[in-house]
């Protein structure tokens, strides 16, 4: 689809409507699973196998969503949004992905799916650069390609994000700086160094610190730690870093596995009064950590909304609708998209929030 609108860069603000945080499970290879297409029942966003007929006036499209790891709680939640959208529209949309977070397996699943006569492919890439050839192949077949957490992907029609990535990173830093008294040494943790969104959030956090908090310092010897999208790895690496660099008093976490893993390491070393962590997290996973004071807040967006939004954007592309500033995908977090001024394929919503002990029970995922 040709995009002709010149956009302005959105300043991300906190929205008290959407939920959750980003992640995957293990960094090692695992078995992959490819589901057969099926539309979900309209009244059951959380599951169900009975296919719905296409809605009146609807199209008989097939939309596949390939995520980083389909057994991880983040993507189980995303599937609820995909199934809700399928139930409301009667359009075949389904989610699949590797059992564990593994780029090679994800690419193989995409390769298999684009040979199954689908109309649109939505992807949350493990390694955006590695996915480029197979996404180009999909586009060459006339398949609409939508990405999420892949703002640097070139071979897609659009990448949709819940927010401006730099703004989200700044939001994380503002929360961390408050806990650190706006001074001290910190480092950043991401799932993988190849995961574009994680590193853009971390870069945004660092940029905010440099601009607003001159008495804080990024750890020069280890400015970025890789958790491999695994809570246990995050825990082990956080312990190693804290023992090696006793001056460290703060972490940012990009992957939803990072934040609880770091918090566990801080507690085990008896540093809860000295070291702080703020980052993406899942409410159910972090509930007790928030309530017992191990975490003060987590930052997140709702993966169910992201799944719904990807499918609705794919439908609009298939229907030939104009996409640009102000496009409404039918959700509060995505009701007025903004196009990045330097990348016309990048669409941004307004859907990140902060969850604390006071409001964590409002979220059940």
Q: What share of the chain is helix, strand, coil (3-state, %, to 5)?
A: 35, 20, 45
CB neighbour class for 2 (10 Å; exposed up to 12, middle 13-18, buried from 19): exposed
Sign, CA dihedral 58-60-65-70, equals positive
Domains 32-163+302-349 and 165-300 share a fold: yes
Looking at 3.10.20.30, 3.40.50.720, 3.40.50.2300, 3.30.565.10, the CATH number of the domain 165-300 comes to 3.40.50.2300
pLDDT at 58: 53
Distances (CA, A) of 346 to 65, 160, 343, 351: 18, 6, 6, 15
Query: Read out DSSP for 102-121?
Result: -HHHHHHHHHHHTTS--SEE
CB neighbour class for 143 (10 Å; exposed up to 12, middle 13-18, buried from 19): buried
Instruction: Locate the domains of the chain by residue range.
Output: 32-163+302-349, 165-300
Read off the pLDDT of residues 82-130 as tens digits, 9 standing for 90 and up.
999 999 999 999 999 999 899 999 999 999 999 999 999 999 999 999 9
Apex 157 CA angle, 42 and 203, nearest 5: 100
Read off the pLDDT of residues 29-48 as tens digits, 9 standing for 90 and up.
333 443 444 443 333 333 33
**pLDDT over threshold 80, residue 233:** yes
CATH assignment, 32-163+302-349: 3.40.50.2300
pLDDT at 59: 78
**Tokens at 214, concatenated:** 């001159």
**Tokens at 353, concatenated:** 């929030």
**Tokens at 97, concatenated:** 């992905």
Read off the pLDDT of residues 251-306 as tens digits, 9 standing for 90 and up.
999 999 999 999 999 999 999 999 999 999 999 999 999 999 999 999 999 999 99
């Amino acid at each position: 689809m040709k995009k002709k609108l010149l956009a302005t860069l959105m300043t991300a603000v906190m929205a008290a409507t959407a939920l959750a945080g980003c992640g995957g499970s293990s960094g090692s290879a695992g078995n992959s699973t490819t589901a057969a297409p099926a539309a979900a029942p309209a009244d059951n966003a959380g599951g169900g196998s009975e296919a719905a007929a296409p809605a009146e006036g609807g199209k008989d499209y097939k939309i596949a969503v390939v995520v980083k790891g389909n057994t991880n709680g983040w993507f189980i939640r995303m599937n609820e949004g995909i199934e809700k959208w399928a139930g409301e529209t009667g359009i075949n949309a389904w989610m699949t992905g590797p059992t564990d977070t593994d780029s090679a397996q994800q690419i193989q699943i995409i390769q298999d799916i684009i040979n199954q006569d689908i109309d649109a492919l939505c992807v949350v890439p493990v390694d955006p650069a590695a996915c480029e050839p197979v996404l180009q192949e999909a586009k060459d077949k006339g398949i609409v390609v939508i990405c999420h957490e892949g703002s640097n992907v070139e071979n897609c029609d659009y990448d949709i994000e819940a927010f401006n990535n730099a703004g989200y990173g700044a939001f994380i830093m503002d929360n961390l700086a408050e806990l650190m008294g706006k001074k001290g040494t910190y480092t950043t943790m991401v799932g993988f160094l190849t995961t574009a969104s994680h590193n853009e959030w971390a870069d945004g956090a660092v940029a905010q610190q440099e601009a607003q908090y001159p008495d804080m310092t990024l750890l020069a010897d280890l400015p970025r730690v890789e958790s491999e999208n695994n809570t246990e790895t995050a825990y082990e690496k956080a312990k190693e870093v804290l023992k090696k660099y006793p001056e460290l008093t703060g972490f940012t976490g990009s992957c939803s596995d990072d934040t609880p893993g770091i918090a566990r390491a801080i507690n085990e070393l008896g540093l809860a009064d000295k070291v702080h962590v703020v980052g993406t997290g899942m409410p159910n996973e972090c509930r007790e950590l928030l309530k017992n004071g191990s975490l003060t807040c987590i930052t997140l967006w709702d993966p169910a909304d992201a799944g719904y939004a990807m499918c609705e954007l794919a439908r609009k592309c298939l229907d030939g609708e104009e996409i640009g500033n102000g496009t409404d995908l039918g959700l509060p977090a995505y009701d007025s998209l903004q196009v990045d001024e330097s990348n016309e394929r990048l669409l941004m919503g307004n859907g990140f929030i902060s969850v604390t002990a006071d409001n964590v029970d409002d979220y059940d995922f």
